[in-house]
Chain A
Amino acid sequence: MSVSQTSFHSALLDASRPVPDGLQDANAAPAGRRFSVYRNNVAVSLTEAMHQAFPVITKLLGPQNMDGLAGIFLRQHPPSSPLMMFYGEDFPGFLAGMEQLSHLGYLADIARLELALRRAYHAADGHPIEPDALAIAPEDLMAAKLTLAPAVQVLRSDWPIFAIWQYNSQADAPKPQAGAQDVLITRPEYDPAPHLLPAGGADWIARIQDGQTIGAAFEATAAETPEFDLGTTLALLLQGGAITSVTIERLDT
């Protein structure tokens, strides 16, 4: 009796299926619970990976609920590559689709934030500009284009995701208040950190990443969000080592 990897694989992820015929112990008796060692290894290792990957979700739901959720998730969405460091890409969508969790609407965005932090951790190294590289004449500054480090990530949310993340990651963090929050992730050296972006900050950064000058991006953003604070946004990027080059374009020369 030959055992295909297809049948081994199906029985591995679905404990209600019988152990494939042709697997046996030393006395040629059916393998029985010996097969469960493999079932258990797969489920335990992937559940453990989910706990490590989503510590704030685990804290919000409680470890036991996370175990249950991970057990469902790993069967619906097994890893698609051996790079376990990126496992869980489908978790935000999975959370958003769980009816039992619909009263916790922010969970999917918190999962996106935790994924983005991991991507930032493994992103290519950037070489930040010197802090005084932007201490230039205002007209030069407005004509400058910026390149951002590979670790930089921006998330927009209808929920206070920065406050929720902070409250569940740091001692003495204030209790979250209702409201939309956009988050910037920078990685000054090797440790990614999320920052709360001021209103319009996410739009301005998106325009900079599209190749617009600081000035053009500012005008477009301020037209939509009059209170947009360019100074605060630039300072967050500079302090986070997120700017890797400045190019000044002069159209008039």
Chain B
Amino acid sequence: MLDDALRSNRLPAAPGVGYKPQHFSQILEHAKPVAWLEIHAENYMGDGGRPLAQLRHLSEQFPISVHGVGLSIGGETPLDTDHLARLKHLVGWLNPASFSEHLAWSTHDSHFLNDLLPLPYTDATLTRVCDHIDQVQEVVGRQMLLENPSSYLAFEESTWSEPDFLSEIARRTGCGLLLDVNNVFVSATNLDFSPQGYIDAYPLEQVGEIHLGGHDEDEDDHGRPLLIDSHGREVVDPVWALLDYVLEQSGPKPLLVEWDTDVPDWPVLRAEAERAQTALDRVPA
């Protein structure tokens, strides 16, 4: 269980965006309303060069959120201690405003699969995930936020609902939560549950950050909608509506717009951040 002193999320309840190097100079010239930036931790684990120089520069002007995509917290095998050491080094060097990772696995049999893979929600996986998060928070020396995944299928063996599973992880480990409302919408569509019902069951008081992103539309074998979390386009209206539903209950939160594939020009991404600002403006503080 995490020491209270290590709970140091300092992201402002304002819009942020996922940082892409092609936007570097425009962010420095015209960021507003973007108030903070998120980086993928693994892209800044080289020894030097332009990536670290740009990050150092940006961190002097913006709060930075370090978002890991490679720790494999939901993995069956022990965490990669080399990778954990790299994460500790990055967080120690940057002293970011927030640090987060995913409820997913990506490494198995020493292969890194470069995707966020799903796990069943059982008593056994709950214990394993909590052990891994305890280890991460102990090594990195601060609280982490855990993000809910996008689901395309379900495990027959699961005995926990996802909100209850996340709630119990937060209770046992003291980690915070990163609520990805697009992922909730994608999973709800794919697995035929109510996204508002998910939010009603979800522990909003643990949320340190909210993610928004675009998804693609496909179909399953039976012609039913299959949404894919691609981060390659604008956030759709029903996801903005779900965000409003969340913010009405949670109050203002740090809101991140993710756009990772077919990355648009800066004004397009900034327009998404403006829409996030509008959503925040409607919420009483």
Q: Which residues of A contact B (CB under 8 A)?
A: 1-6, 8-9, 12-13, 22-29, 31-35, 37-38, 41-42, 45-46, 49, 78-85, 121-125, 150-151, 187, 190-191
Contact = CB atoms under 8 A, between A and B. Distances in A.
Interface string B226-254: 10100000000000000000000000000
Interface residues of B, number: 53
Interface of B: 42-43, 45-51, 53, 69-72, 75-77, 80, 82-83, 86, 105-115, 117-120, 152-157, 190-193, 218, 220-222, 224, 226, 228
Contacts of B106: 82
12 contacts: A5-B105, A5-B119, A9-B108, A23-B156, A25-B191, A34-B190, A35-B152, A42-B115, A78-B113, A81-B82, A82-B112, A83-B86
Given A5-B108, A9-B111, A122 B221 contact: no
Contacts of A46: 114
Contacts of A85: 42-43, 45-46
B22 to A, nearest CB: 13
Contact of A80 (B110, B115, B119, B193): B110
B115 A6 contact: no
B111 to A, nearest CB: 4
Contacts of A4: 76
Contacts of B111: 9, 13, 78-80
| Cβ-closest 8 pairs across A and B | A82-B70, A122-B46, A26-B192, A190-B50, A124-B47, A78-B111, A31-B153, A125-B48
Contact of A38 (B43, B152, B224): B152
Contacts of A26: 154, 190-193
Interface of A is mostly: loop
Nearest to A23: B153
Contacts of B218: 37
B120 A38 contact: no
Given A5-B105, A45-B115, A80-B112, A25 B153 contact: yes
Contacts of A187: 49
A136 B99 CA distance: 51
B242 to A, nearest CB: 19
A24 B154 contact: yes
A45 B114 CA distance: 7
B167 to A, nearest CB: 22
A12 B111 CA distance: 12
Given A31-B152, A82-B72, A122-B48, 20 more contacts: A5-B108, A9-B108, A12-B113, A25-B153, A29-B222, A31-B154, A34-B153, A35-B153, A37-B152, A45-B115, A79-B114, A82-B70, A82-B80, A83-B45, A83-B86, A84-B114, A121-B50, A122-B46, A125-B48, A125-B49
A185 B39 CA distance: 29
Nearest to A190: B50
Contacts of A150: 47-48
